[in-house]
Amino acid sequence: MGLAKRIIPCLDVKGGETVKGTNFIDLRKAGDPVELGKAYSKAGADELVYLDITASYEGRKTFTEIVSRVAAEINIPFTVGGGINELADVERLLMAGADKVSVNSAAIRCPQLIDDIAKRFGSQVCVCAIDARLENGEWVCYQKGGRERTNRKLLEWAKEAQERGAGEILFTSMDHDGVKTGYANDALAILADRLTIPIIASGGAGRMEHFKDAFTIGKADAALAASVFHFGEIQIPELKKYLRAANIDVRL
């Protein structure tokens, strides 16, 4: 067996509240990000991801104060993303208590940012998040919270991110986001086969078997989900027991 597969609740934060949408739009409130984080930590989540979802679009800095509050309350690793454009942003968030940072739009605009983060803080700190949509048989990358199409293709950009020093790829299928029909397992499997760094699956969790499929068909190293956890549709302890019964190595 390799490393245990990770279950990662994702908290999208807007205006200090956790929100969740479908296909990156139609947001609804889901609770206090710090209290939710504490509950997930107690329930057995392996890690958390906090995304300031309008930071890049609105051109402002990420929510350092929430990061400090989260760090004071939880004892599992957490990643922070949104509005990270330079090393000073990374340093501020790490100093506030984050374990890793997730870069997306800024890395597409300036790929050197990945090299700089990896050299200064180590590859383990740098998660390259990629939002992509399937168009005419090709996965095309988007930036600014899914609002802006780019000319980058999923696999070539993921490979470049790895070469530049990213420690993980967080791949979100925009087509699957919030619709709860399962992850984009074919694309995940291609990434897993072609890359050597861990792949985090995001977008599409609706039932426990979707997590199993992400790990078996999609060969993902971790599975991220939001609404099924926020609204109590799936409980993390039950999910982990289910996965263990399906011979998937998870930490109980």
- The CA-atom distances, in angstroms, between 241 and each of 69, 166, 183, 249, 251 are 30, 31, 20, 10, 9
For residue 14, give the amino acid letter: K
What's 157's DSSP letter? H
Interior/surface letters 18-56, b for 16+ CB within 10 angstroms, e for the rest:
bbbbeebeebeebbbbbebbbbbbebbbbbbbbbbbbbb
Which residues are annotated as catalytic?
12, 131
- The CA-atom distances, in angstroms, between 176 and each of 23, 198, 207, 233 are 7, 20, 13, 17
Q: Are 212 and 240 in contact (CB under 8 A)?
A: no
% helix / strand / coil in the chain, to the nearest 5?
A: 40, 30, 35
Residues listed for the chain: 252
Tokens matching residue 20 = 């969740």
Burial (CB count <10 Å: 0-12, 13-18, 19+), residue 97: middle
**Between β-strands 138-143 and 126-135, what pairing exists: parallel, antiparallel or unpaired?**
antiparallel
CA distance 176 to 203: 5
For residue 32, give the amino acid letter: D
